[in-house]
Structure 1
Amino acid sequence: MELTVGPNQFFWPADTWSAFYDALENAPVDRVVVGELVCSKRLPFYQDRIPDTISGLIDAGKTVFLTSLAMITLKRERKLMAELVEMGVTVEINDLTMLSYLPQGCDFAVGPLVNVYSESTLSWLASRGARHVCLPPELPLGSVEVLAKVAGDLGVSVEVWGHGRLPLAISGRCYHARLHGRSKDNCQFACEDDSDGLDVASLDEQPFMTMNGVQTLSHSYACTDQQIELLADVGVAALRLSPQSEGFTQLCELYRKRVDGALGIGALAEEVTAAAPGIRLSDGFLTGSSGAEWSGALGCDTRKQ
């Protein structure tokens, strides 16, 4: 099973951004998705570094995709998306309007923000040139199995969300800006102070979700430690690891060992929680009754489910 590093969802200083991708050159991952997913206003801070980053990753033997924005609305965003196609790198679409910029017959990848919920959607995307699809993280294991089988027949590789805060929604409004009493157009990049998003609690002080500019994320970190064998058995080709500000290369190494069988079920989660005390893990979308559930906490063996 391959490992993919998804696009960075957060706003980091340009030097931090570059250092992150430099470190990935030596990480045990197969594929890296580069670019801006969440907010086009962040892109100018590191846009000029993207070509060298792509070259470095390719020289290190990684496959590289370029992500589209999750929501393409402005004229300048449409121009930016059209320019992605000209860079000569496979584009991962996260907004279906991106298809209008791809030449007919051009191969592309599909990110987890596109609602690939059915066999017909998957088949249609394959007919348009999709060769790799990361399924939406809210799909249960049974649906993943059905879609993985169809994908295999179509010659499309399937990926699932392996680790990281789950993308739940993208809005036209910026939560971070509003929190600081600013408008979206005058946000002053409020999200830069929260390198892994800003935790949100309910009125009774229960952890609820995480805000990241215009994006809503889960408070918990999805973790597939308990389901890797299940996912491999149903034909999943890759796991997606979502960037985080600390300990990410070590996380990649843990998942590589876990996928290769060098770590048993539960060992990866133990390492993750030891490195970040207080972190909440979840895997309920795959095998639980709600997304926030964590089978490891229940002592469940999900292989029997």
Structure 2
Amino acid sequence: MKRSRLVMGPVLFHWDEDRKKDFYNRIADETDVDTVHVGEVVCAKRMPFFDKHLPDVIERLQRGGKEVVLSTLALVMNEREVNQIREIVHMPDILIEANDISVVRLLAGKPHMIGPYINTYNEGTLSYFADKGAKRIALPWELPMSSINALCDQQTTAEIEVQIFGRVPLAISARCYSARAQGLHKDGCRYVCGEHLDGMNVETLDDKPFLAVNGLQTLSSHYVELSDNIATMQKCGVGAFRLSPHSLDMTKVSDLYHQVLSHKIAPAELRHRLQEMRLPMVFANGFLHQAPGAEFRQTLGHQTE
């Protein structure tokens, strides 16, 4: 069996510069992660805060033996953002991840990556992207295991990637929900999204966890956790497994998943050690089992608490 690739996805949240630099430095120096994503996915207004640090961050990660992928916006809305994307796709010696379908045309003919925000739901779409030069395709979060199996059976040159940890992006909008919650307009948002390191929790009227808000982005309240199905996905041909960064110690998180990928610890032990960390998490894997996404099941057809 081919060795599995462990991937650190892009930081989705508006962390301050020092926190973000420290995060990437630790990932570069202290982890066995194979691939690291940099770049802004959620809001173009955030880009000036960290873009100036990207050359140094990329160099540090590459010096640490990591493949670096530059992720792009999930929603490209105006000409200024289109021009930013045009500049990015011409950057030399770095793999670009398309997260908006408009970016795929700009990347056609050169090696690139298709991100999970683009709907790769069937074999025809998978083959189309591979033929256009996609080296790796991250599947959407809502796909069940049966669909992942079917896509892995499709003979293409593209590697298949699945997110196995972290809150799941559910929607993205032109409106900024974080600003609106504070009575602000998007243009004068004061970057209040940065006040919530893992997104702003949203509860129902009867105080039940519901969603999380991250600027323009709506996320799940629950944290997807797919370690029980890693071995099955490895056997069916999934080659890359993505972790989405959160404010807990991602070096420890990556080490735990590296041990599961290497079959050194059991998924139950991984979950126990995650629960011991300071960030409270409720796990979910329902989408993989063709169930409501917020459910957690250890085996197909059997629900657990």
Which category of TM-score, normalised to the shorter sequence, fits these structures? Answer: over 0.9
1:19 maps to what in 2? Answer: 22
Task: Please report how far the alpha carbon of residue 15 of structure 1 lies from its aligned counterpart in structure 2 after TM superposition.
Answer: 1.1
1:203 maps to what in 2? Answer: 205
Partner of 2:65, secondary structure, is coil
Task: Please report how far the alpha carbon of residue 31 of structure 1 lies from its aligned counterpart in structure 2 after TM superposition.
Answer: 0.3
Task: Please report how far the alpha carbon of residue 206 of structure 1 lies from its aligned counterpart in structure 2 after TM superposition.
Answer: 0.8
Identical positions, percent: 37
2:291 maps to what in 1? Answer: 289
Off by >3 Å, runs of 4+ in structure 1: 300-305
CA contact (8 A) 2:248 2:278 kept: no
C-alpha distance in 2 between matches for 1:74 and 1:186: 18
- TM-score, normalised relative to structure 2: 0.94
C-alpha distance in 1 between matches for 2:189 and 2:279: 32
CA contact (8 A) 1:7 1:242 kept: yes
1:136 maps to what in 2? Answer: 140
C-alpha distance in 1 between matches for 2:70 and 2:193: 22
2:153 maps to what in 1? Answer: 149
CA contact (8 A) 2:248 2:277 kept: no
| One-letter amino acid of the counterpart of residue 187, structure 1 | C
C-alpha distance in 2 between matches for 1:180 and 1:62: 39
C-alpha distance in 2 between matches for 1:168 and 1:94: 14
Unaligned runs of 5+ in 2: none
CA deviation profile, 1:148-180 (whole Å, cap 9, x unmatched): 121xx1111001011000010000100001011
1:30 maps to what in 2? Answer: 34
2:101 maps to what in 1? Answer: 96
Partner of 1:46, secondary structure, is helix
Whether 2:113 is the aligned partner of 1:109: answer yes
C-alpha distance in 2 between matches for 1:278 and 1:2: 27
| One-letter amino acid of the counterpart of residue 7, structure 2 | T
C-alpha distance in 1 between matches for 2:80 and 2:251: 34
Partner of 1:266, secondary structure, is helix
Task: Please report how far the alpha carbon of residue 101 of structure 1 lies from its aligned counterpart in structure 2 after TM superposition.
Answer: 2.5
C-alpha distance in 2 between matches for 1:243 and 1:183: 28
Which has the higher mean CA deviation after the structures are superposed, 268-277 or 115-124? 268-277
- TM-score, normalised relative to structure 1: 0.94
Task: Please report how far the alpha carbon of residue 59 of structure 1 lies from its aligned counterpart in structure 2 after TM superposition.
Answer: 1.1
| One-letter amino acid of the counterpart of residue 99, structure 1 | V
Whether 2:131 is the aligned partner of 1:127: answer yes
2:68 aligns with one of 47, 55, 64? 64
Whether 2:81 is the aligned partner of 1:77: answer yes
1:159 aligns with one of 158, 161, 164? 161
Task: Please report how far the alpha carbon of residue 304 of structure 1 lies from its aligned counterpart in structure 2 after TM superposition.
Answer: 9.1
Aligned residues: 298
Partner of 2:210, secondary structure, is strand
Task: Please report how far the alpha carbon of residue 74 of structure 1 lies from its aligned counterpart in structure 2 after TM superposition.
Answer: 1.8
Unaligned runs of 5+ in 1: none
CA distance change for structure 1 residues 288 and 83 in 2, over 3 Å: closer, same or farther?
same
Tell me how large the CA RMSD over aligned residues is.
1.5
Whether 2:6 is the aligned partner of 1:6: answer no
C-alpha distance in 2 between matches for 1:97 and 1:191: 26
Which has the higher mean CA deviation after the structures are superposed, 32-41 or 222-231? 222-231
| One-letter amino acid of the counterpart of residue 14, structure 1 | E
2:234 maps to what in 1? Answer: 232
Task: Please report how far the alpha carbon of residue 302 of structure 1 lies from its aligned counterpart in structure 2 after TM superposition.
Answer: 4.6
CA contact (8 A) 2:166 2:223 kept: yes
CA deviation profile, 1:198-221 (whole Å, cap 9, x unmatched): 100011111001000000000011
2:257 maps to what in 1? Answer: 255
C-alpha distance in 2 between matches for 1:40 and 1:277: 28
CA distance change for structure 1 residues 21 and 277 in 2, over 3 Å: closer, same or farther?
closer
